[in-house]
Structure 1
Amino acid sequence: MKNDVNGVALGVFIFFFLAVTVMGFLAARWRRAENALHLDEWGLGGRSFGTWVTWFLLGGDLYTAYTFVAVPAAIYGAGASGFFAVPYTIVAYPLVFLFLPRLWSVSHKHGYVTSSDFIRGRFGSKALSVAVALTGIVATMPYIALQLVGIQAVLDVLGVGGGHSTNWFVKDLPLLIAFGVLAAYTYSSGLRAPALIAFVKDALIYIVIAVAIIYIPYKLGGFDDIFHKAGTAYAVTNPATGKPRGSLTVAPQAQWAYATLAMGSAMALFLYPHSVTAVLSGKSRNVIRRNTTILPLYSLMLGLLAMLGFMAVADGVGKGIKGYNAQLAIPQLFENIFPSWFAGIAFAAIGIGALVPAAIMSIAAANLFTRNIYKDLFRPNASPAEETRVSKIVSLVVKVGALVFVLSMDKTVAINFQLLGGIWILQTVPTIVGGLFTRWFHRWALLAGWAAGMAYGTWKAYDQSSPTQAHFGGNSDTIPWIGKIGYIGLTAFVLNLAVAVVLTLVLRALRAPAGTDETSLSDYTVEAGEQGVAAELPEPAGA
C-alpha cells in the first residue's frame, strides 16, 4: 500500500460524498409529512415506500460495505469458505417470502414499529419484548462498526486514513468527519435519508461491479490465470497455523461448517432490526411480496463481488507484508488496477455503501430502545413527539458506540464481530417467526430458550481463538453428539428451540398464565385499505 495521497481518486470520492451528504439533508423535504415528530415518519418514512424505493432501501440495507469489503476479504484470506454469503442470501428469500408479509400485515394493522412491538402484542410479555429488543441493539452495534471499517479501509488506501499518522486524532479525523456527517443527516431526515441515498449507492455499485468483472480479469490475464495464481497462493503453508492458507474449494472437513453457517445466516438475515425497519416502511403487503421475488438479483451481484477476493490474491495484493489487513485488499486492488478517476468512483461506492446501512441500523436500534425499553419500562405515556425526540438522540448514541467499537477493535477480524451478532439474532427466530404462525409456545418458555441460546452461543464464540485473537476468533465449534464442526449460532438455536418446546409442554401442563394476545388470525393477512386497516398513503406529487 502506498503512503502518498491519491489526489484524483480522493477528489472523486469527496465529490460523491458531498453529493450524498446534500441528498441526506434534502431528504427531510422528500415525502414530507404534516407531523414529522412521529416514529412512523422519522423512523419508518411514513410507511409510504413503494416497490422500487423499498427494493433500493432493502438492497442498500442488506448489501453493505460488509458485502464490498469483508466478503471478498474473507475469500482473499481463506478461499472458497468465504463464499458462504452467496448461498445464504439465496436460501434466505424463500424463507422470508413466508413470514415477512405476515409481519408487515400485523404491524400495519396494530401500528407496530419494531419486531418487539409485535412480540409484546402477540404474547403479552414485556420481559420477552425487552429481551428481543436488547438482542437487536447489541447485535446491530458490530454491524454498524463493520460499515465504519469499510469507510476506514477506503480512507487508508486513499492515503488519508489511520495507517498514515501516529497522532490518534489526525489519523482518525477523516473517519470522524464521515461519522459526523452521517449522524447529522440521519438525525435530521430519519429513514428518508438512506432511502434516497440508496439510489446513488446501488447505481454506483452496479457500475463498479459491471466494470470490475470485465476489466480486472482483462488486466490480470483472464480468469484462468486468476484461478491458477490464487490456487498457488492458497497452497502455501501459513506459518501461524501450519496449514495451507486456503483453498479454491471447500474442503470436506469444512463442509458442515460452511453449510450450517450459510443456513444459520439465512435464517437470521431478515430478523435484524434494520431489515425489519426497511420492511415496515413499505406501503403495502404486496410491496413486500414483490421485493422478496426481485431482491435475489442482488445475490448475483454478491457472487460477482466475492470473485474480487480471488482477483486480489492473483494481483499479489498484500504479498510479503506481515500481518496484512485483509479488509484493505479490495480497495487496494481497485487502486492498483483502475485508473485513478474510476478508483475514486469505486471507493465512493464502498463509502456510500457503508453510510446507507449504518444510517438504517442506527435508526432501527434507536426505535427498539425508544419503543420497547424507554416507553415500555419508564415512560408508558410518552407522546409520539417525545418518542421521536428520544429516538433521534439514541440514534446518535448508537453511532458513537459503534465508532468507539471500531476505533478499539482488531480490524483484521471485523467480520467475526458481525457474525457474533448473527449468533445473537438467530436466537430471536423461535419468538418472532414462531409467533407469526402459532400461539402454541409459552412466553416464559420462549424467554428461557432465548436465554439458553444466548448464553451458549456467546460462551462458545468467546472460546474460539485464532492467530490474531485469543477470543471471538471464529464462529464454528464441535456440534454436540454429531461431532462435526458447525456454526455456533445454529447449534445455539437448536438448544434454544428444544428448551422452548420442552418448557412449553411443562408450563401448559401446569396451566401457567399464557398472557394476552391482542392480535387475531385475520391480522396476519390483511392488506392496506381493508376494513379497519389504514389505507395506503398516496404517492406524493412528482415522487
Structure 2
Amino acid sequence: METVIVSAAVAVILLTILGMVTGAKESQASLAGWLVHRRNMGPWLIWFLLGTEIYTAFTFQGLAGYAYVKGGPVFYNVALNDVAYALGFMILPLIWILGRRFRYVTQADFVAGRYQSKTLGSFVALTTAIIMIAYIDLNITGLGAIFHVISRSRLSVSVSDIIGFFILALAVYVGGIRGNAWQSVIKDIFMIVALGTLFIVFPYKDFHGFEPMFKAFGTQLGQVMILPGKTHNAGLLWLVTTVIMTGLGQWMWPQWFGVAYTAKSPRALKIQAVFMPLYQLVKVAVIIIGFGALIVLGRHQNGNDVVLILARRLFPTPFFAFFVVAAIFAALVPAGPIIMTSASLIAKNVWGDLTFRTEQQIYRLTKMLVFPLTALALFLALATPSLLVAILLVAYDFIAQLFPAIVIGGLFWRGATKYGAFWGMIVGWVVDGSLLLSHHSIIWGMNAGFMALVLNTVVFWVVSRLTYHPQSAEIQHFTALYGDAPRTSQY
C-alpha cells in the first residue's frame, strides 16, 4: 500500500508542476489568457481538453459500476456521446465565431449578448455555477472510492480529498486553461493505457480469453445485458428519450463553451469533433469490464469499486500503482475547467455585470474564487452527502434545459425573446426537479428530463411569439453572423 500511495503522491505533484509551467505565462496576462488561452489552441490540445471533461472518474470507475449494478441500460452512455459529437460538429464552430466577434469568455456572455439582457446572463451564470459546484463532487466520489480500495479502509478519505483538491486548486490558479490542457494530455494517456491493459489482461486471467468471456456473458448474465437490465422500467422508450435529452444537453455545460472559445479557428473544432468518437472505445471496454466483474466478483461489491478491485487482483504492485495514478488523474484533472468556469461566471457575469467592475478586477476576483469554490464543493461532499445525491440526480437534466434558449434561440431562431428563454428554463427546471425529487425519474416509460425539455421548448416558443417585437440593431447584428459563418475563415 505504501508504494501505491507514494507513487500517487509523486505523480500528482509532478502533474501539478506541469500545469503550472505550461500555463503560467498565459495565465498571468489577462482573464482571456487564463480562461480561453487567447483563442489560440489547436485541434490536438482541444481534443484532449474536451476528452478530459467528457471521460472522467465516472468513465474510469462509475461506468463499469453502472454496468455492474444496472446492466443493459448502461449502453445509453455510449449512444449519448455519438449524438453529442454530431451536434458539436455543427454548433461549436458557430459558438466560436460569435465568441471571437464579441469577445465572449463565458457561456453567460453569450446569453446576455444574444438576448441583450445582462440580467438574464447573470441569472444563467448563477444557476449554472451552483449546479457545477455539485458536479465537482462526482470527482470527489471517485477519489473516495480510490483511497477506500487501496488503503483497505485504513486511510482517511476526508484527508486525502482535502489534499488532492488543494493541489488541484493551486494548479488551476496558476496554470489556467492551457495548463489544464497539458494535464489532460497526461491524464488521457494514463487512462487509456491503464484501462486498455485491464481490458486485455482481465479476459485472459479470469476467463482464458475473449471468446470464453463473451460466451459466459450469454449463459450467465442472460437478461441482465439487455433492456431493462436489473431495472424494472428502463426500456427502449427510456433509452431513446434519455439519449436525446443527454445528447442535446452535452454542450450546455458552461465549461465546454469555454473550451470552444479557446480554439484558434472553427476548423480546429470540426477536426476534434471528427476524431472525438475514438474515445468511445474506452467506454465500450469499461462496460465490458463491468459485465465481467459481475461474474467474477459476484453481486456484493460497491459498483464504484469494481474496476480498482479487479486491478488490485490482477496486477503486480508497480502496475497497480500506475493504475491508481491514472484513476486519480481521471478524478482530479476534469474538475479544473469546472472550477475555473464556476469562478468566472460568478466573478464576471454576476458580480462584475452588476457592479460594472474593470476586467482586471474581475480577473483577480475570478482567480481568488478558485480556492473557496473548491473548498465549498469539498465541504458539501463531506458534510451533506444525501443532499448532494438529490442535487446530482437533476444535474444533467437541469443543464439540458438550456438547450432551447442557447441553441434554438441563440443560434437558429431570430424570433426568440429573453422572456421566452427565461420562462422556458423555469418551467423545465421546476417540472424536471419535481419529477426527479418525487422519485419519478421515469414516467410513462420516458426520461423525466426529456419530458421537461419538451415542455420547456413549448413554453419558450409560445412566450417568445407573444412577446416578440422588432429587434434592436445589436441583436440584428448578432444574428446576422449566422449567415456569415462560411466566410469567417480568417478567424
Q: TM-score, normalised by structure 2?
A: 0.92
Cα pair 2:393 2:436 within 8 Å, conserved:
no
In structure 2, the partner of 1:392 is 367
Provide, for residues 272-316 of structure 1, a one-character-per-residue CA deviation record: whole Å limited to 9, x for no partner. Answer: 012111111111111111111111111122111222211221221
In structure 1, the partner of 2:404 is 430
Cα pair 2:23 2:180 within 8 Å, conserved:
no
The aligned runs of 1:264-413 (5 Å cut-off) are: 264-316=245-297, 319-320=299-300, 324-377=301-354, 379-380=355-356, 382-410=357-385
In structure 2, the partner of 1:203 is 189
The total of aligned residue pairs comes to 483
Given candidates 142, 148, 152, the residue that maps to 2:144 is 152
Q: Displacement of 1:395 after TM fit?
A: 2.3
Given candidates 76, 99, 122, the residue that maps to 1:130 is 122
Q: 1:415 to 1:75 in 2, by over 3 A?
A: farther
Using the alignment, how far apart are the partners of 2:381 and 2:289 within structure 1?
Answer: 24
In structure 1, the partner of 2:8 is 13
Check if 1:501 corresponds to 2:461: yes
In structure 2, the partner of 1:469 is none
Using the alignment, how far apart are the partners of 1:97 and 1:255 within structure 2?
Answer: 27
Q: 1:392 to 1:527 in 2, by over 3 A?
A: farther
In structure 1, the partner of 2:23 is 28
Provide, for residues 185-207 of structure 1, a one-character-per-residue CA deviation record: whole Å limited to 9, x for no partner. Answer: 11111112211111111111111
Q: Displacement of 1:215 after TM fit?
A: 0.5
Secondary structure (helix, strand or coil) at the match of 2:224 reads coil
Secondary structure (helix, strand or coil) at the match of 2:130 reads helix
Q: Displacement of 1:477 after TM fit?
A: 2.3
Using the alignment, how far apart are the partners of 1:396 and 1:304 within structure 2?
Answer: 36
Check if 1:487 corresponds to 2:464: no
Using the alignment, how far apart are the partners of 2:416 and 2:56 within structure 1?
Answer: 35
Secondary structure (helix, strand or coil) at the match of 1:295 reads helix
Q: 1:276 to 1:155 in 2, by over 3 A?
A: same
Q: 1:512 to 1:457 in 2, by over 3 A?
A: farther
Q: 1:529 to 1:79 in 2, by over 3 A?
A: closer
Q: Displacement of 1:497 after TM fit?
A: 0.5
Cα pair 1:257 1:476 within 8 Å, conserved:
no
Q: Counterpart amino acid of 2:5? A: L
Q: Counterpart amino acid of 2:31? A: L
Q: Counterpart amino acid of 1:316? A: L
Using the alignment, how far apart are the partners of 1:512 and 1:232 within structure 2?
Answer: 65
Cα pair 2:398 2:429 within 8 Å, conserved:
yes
Using the alignment, how far apart are the partners of 2:80 and 2:245 within structure 1?
Answer: 8
Q: TM-score, normalised by structure 1?
A: 0.83
Cα pair 1:108 1:528 within 8 Å, conserved:
no
Check if 1:459 corresponds to 2:442: no
Given candidates 14, 18, 38, the residue that maps to 1:46 is 38
Cα pair 1:453 1:492 within 8 Å, conserved:
yes
Using the alignment, how far apart are the partners of 1:7 and 1:249 within structure 2?
Answer: 42
In structure 2, the partner of 1:248 is 225
Q: Counterpart amino acid of 1:522? A: L
Q: 1:515 to 1:64 in 2, by over 3 A?
A: farther
Check if 1:115 corresponds to 2:107: yes
Q: 1:231 to 1:461 in 2, by over 3 A?
A: farther
Q: Displacement of 1:217 after TM fit?
A: 0.5
Q: Displacement of 1:226 after TM fit?
A: 4.1
Q: Displacement of 1:69 after TM fit?
A: 1.4
Q: 1:93 to 1:513 in 2, by over 3 A?
A: closer
Using the alignment, how far apart are the partners of 2:269 and 2:428 within structure 1?
Answer: 30
**Percent sequence identity over aligned pairs:** 25
Q: Displacement of 1:232 after TM fit?
A: 7.4
Secondary structure (helix, strand or coil) at the match of 1:315 reads helix
Provide, for residues 56-105 of structure 1, a one-character-per-residue CA deviation record: whole Å limited to 9, x for no partner. Answer: 11111111111111111111111111221101111111112111110000
RMSD over equivalenced CA pairs, Å: 2.5
Using the alignment, how far apart are the partners of 1:494 and 1:441 within structure 2?
Answer: 16
In structure 2, the partner of 1:541 is none
Q: 1:81 to 1:409 in 2, by over 3 A?
A: farther
In structure 2, the partner of 1:183 is 169
Cα pair 1:38 1:387 within 8 Å, conserved:
no
Using the alignment, how far apart are the partners of 1:436 and 1:194 within structure 2?
Answer: 29
In structure 2, the partner of 1:468 is none
